[in-house]
Structure 1
Amino acid sequence: MKKLLYALVLLGCSFLYACDDTTVGYLDCANAKYSKDSLEIVRFSNLTTEIEGLKTTLNALYANEELAGLFRQVESLNAQLKELEAKMEEMYDQAYELMEEMDIENGALNPDFDKIAELEAKAAELNEIMENEYLPLQMELEDEIYMLMDQIIETCADMGHDDPFTMEEQITQLQNQIDKNTPWTTSTIGQILGTEPMRYYLESIHSDQGEKAAEDFASYVQVVGGGRIYVDMKVDSPAGKYFVSLRVENEGHSAVLRDVFKFILKD
């Protein structure tokens, strides 16, 4: 009988040990990816040159005879739209004031129903002008502006250039990076399933420019929560392609995501 009890105790202990040895949680990275898995960035020593080149191209586009006419039309329509929106804002304010007056009169001990009816009539008149005149005109002006912008984009593409709207955004972004020392940044990585918390690390980098270039580039790289990758704005490694592999871990699990993101470093 004692032998049987000892055997049961030993069996129970071994079961508890097996439970303690069980891996906690799970990690599934089979479909892990970034929504956009590559990013063009510019070497720090050439950022100013890149901005000046964009400005030169942009000025040339604005000076182009065909494009200049389209820009003038857009400017004129934008002015009309701005004037119209100012009138609409004024009308919204008037309607709000009428609604407040009606609320006050309705809440009075002896409401003046004739006054309320008069206020309602004024509000209805404003609403009719807004719906039948101002809103259709606003949509018409916006449609004309969008059509002209599409025409500008197509004309620039035929000339072999980005459109000026994109170029202005690029200039602003690059200048902000210089002024504020803002790093180049990816989005977070998606489609990773697993037990939280998960931690992300830089596993390795390789480059078409060789091992030394990859090592230098890695010194500018930082991986933070969600797999977001930061590259220091002052990166000045050789121009080329840099392929980043990440390691993701949680309790008891680890996975390496090979070449999950590509940075294209331009001169």
Structure 2
Amino acid sequence: MKKIWYILIVGCSLGFFACNDVEVGYLDVKNAAYAVDSLHIYKVEETLDKYNADYNEHMSSLLDEIKELQKKEADMGDELDNLMDQIYDLMDLQDAATSDEEYEELGIQIEELNNSYKVLFAKYRELGKEIASIKENTVDKVAQELGFASEAIMKSEIVKLENRIKYQSPWVTQPIESVLGTEPLSYAIANVRNDNPGNAELFRKSLTILGGGRMNVAFDCKAPAGRYVVSVAIENEGQYAVLEEAFTFIVDK
């Protein structure tokens, strides 16, 4: 009987110590990475000044020409509407005509206005084609030569830069993908590498990391031009891993 109790006590003790050896948490980062693992940081004010200068130099005169044509197009549209109103008024009068002579006279007037409408409408359509051609073959072509798909996209990029300056928006990366592990997961900057350690530390002061490994670089980053390679630490209860050289920031001159 004593032997049985001894075996039970030893077994429970071994089980207790085995439980204490169980690894806490789970973390797998072997496939973890940023889908886009680099980001250029440039001087927003200088870029905006360049875009505005290019836009004003190459686009303004063309857009002024288009505005004049569009005004002419709008005036022609109003004239077409006016002619159509006159035709409808004459048709109402014709329906109420009390004699054949009056009916025929109104019919002649309607025909004349119809002919005028057709001539003006043909000019209106040609003007619309001319405006579209200038936009597509001239304005957008110039925009493409300046590095944009179209004038509208160029203007949109200018507005984005204006808003970035206005709101001091930081530079933002995507989150890290394919991190597998027990929640909650925490992320930290493990290291920032640059040929100049002082520059690396200066860049580090502008860098923050958020949930999911998404990183922000402050709008007013003071680090000089160069490449800054960042390693990211990922941690949960009982587990710790570092993604070495996970992301590269390129500060342009």
Are the counterparts in 1 of residues 59 and 139 from structure 2 also a CA contact under 8 Å?
A: no
Aligned counterpart, 1:177: 164
**What's the RMSD between the two structures over aligned residues?**
3.2
Displacement of 1:251 in angstroms is 1.6
Name stretches of at least 5 consecutive residues in structure 2 with no aligned partner. 78-127
> In the alignment, which of 239, 255, 258 is matched to residue 225 of structure 2?
239
> In the alignment, which of 176, 179, 187 is matched to residue 200 of structure 1?
187
Offset from partner CA, 1:16-59 (integer Å, 9 cap, x none) = 222233113321111112222211112xxx43222111211222
Secondary structure in 2 matching 1:161: coil
> In the alignment, which of 122, 134, 155 is matched to residue 168 of structure 1?
155
Return the letter of the residue paired with 1:264: I
Q: Distance in 1 between matches of 2:10 and 2:137?
A: 79
Instruction: Decide whether aligned partners of structure 1 residues 18 and 153 sit closer, same or farther in structure 2, where only a CA change above 3 A counts.
Output: farther
Instruction: Decide whether aligned partners of structure 1 residues 221 and 64 sit closer, same or farther in structure 2, where only a CA change above 3 A counts.
Output: same
Aligned counterpart, 1:227: 213
Are the counterparts in 1 of residues 186 and 236 from structure 2 also a CA contact under 8 Å?
A: yes
Aligned counterpart, 1:36: 36
Name stretches of at least 5 consecutive residues in structure 1 with no aligned partner. 84-140
Offset from partner CA, 1:211-257 (integer Å, 9 cap, x none) = 11111100111111011101111102111111111011112211111
Displacement of 1:151 in angstroms is 8.6
Q: Distance in 1 between matches of 2:210 and 2:137?
A: 38
Displacement of 1:63 in angstroms is 4.5
Return the letter of the residue paired with 1:5: W
Aligned counterpart, 1:17: 17
Secondary structure in 1 matching 2:241: strand
Return the letter of the residue paired with 1:221: L
Q: Distance in 2 between matches of 1:152 and 1:182?
A: 30
TM-score by length of 1: 0.61
Instruction: Decide whether aligned partners of structure 1 residues 210 and 167 sit closer, same or farther in structure 2, where only a CA change above 3 A counts.
Output: farther
Displacement of 1:200 in angstroms is 0.6
TM-score by length of 2: 0.64
Return the letter of the residue paired with 1:259: E
Are 1:210 and 2:196 matched, yes or no?
yes
Offset from partner CA, 1:180-204 (integer Å, 9 cap, x none) = 2221111211111111111111011
Secondary structure in 1 matching 2:208: strand
Displacement of 1:173 in angstroms is 2.7
Secondary structure in 1 matching 2:6: helix
Return the letter of the residue paired with 1:22: V
Q: Distance in 2 between matches of 1:29 and 1:219?
A: 26
Are the counterparts in 1 of residues 143 and 154 from structure 2 also a CA contact under 8 Å?
A: no
Aligned counterpart, 1:104: none
Q: Distance in 1 between matches of 2:209 and 2:54?
A: 35
Report the identity percentage.
31
Aligned counterpart, 1:27: 27
Aligned counterpart, 1:57: 54
Secondary structure in 2 matching 1:51: helix
Instruction: Decide whether aligned partners of structure 1 residues 150 and 191 sit closer, same or farther in structure 2, where only a CA change above 3 A counts.
Output: farther
Q: Distance in 1 between matches of 2:39 and 2:4?
A: 68
Larger Rg: 2
Instruction: Decide whether aligned partners of structure 1 residues 5 and 216 sit closer, same or farther in structure 2, where only a CA change above 3 A counts.
Output: same
Return the letter of the residue paired with 2:36: K
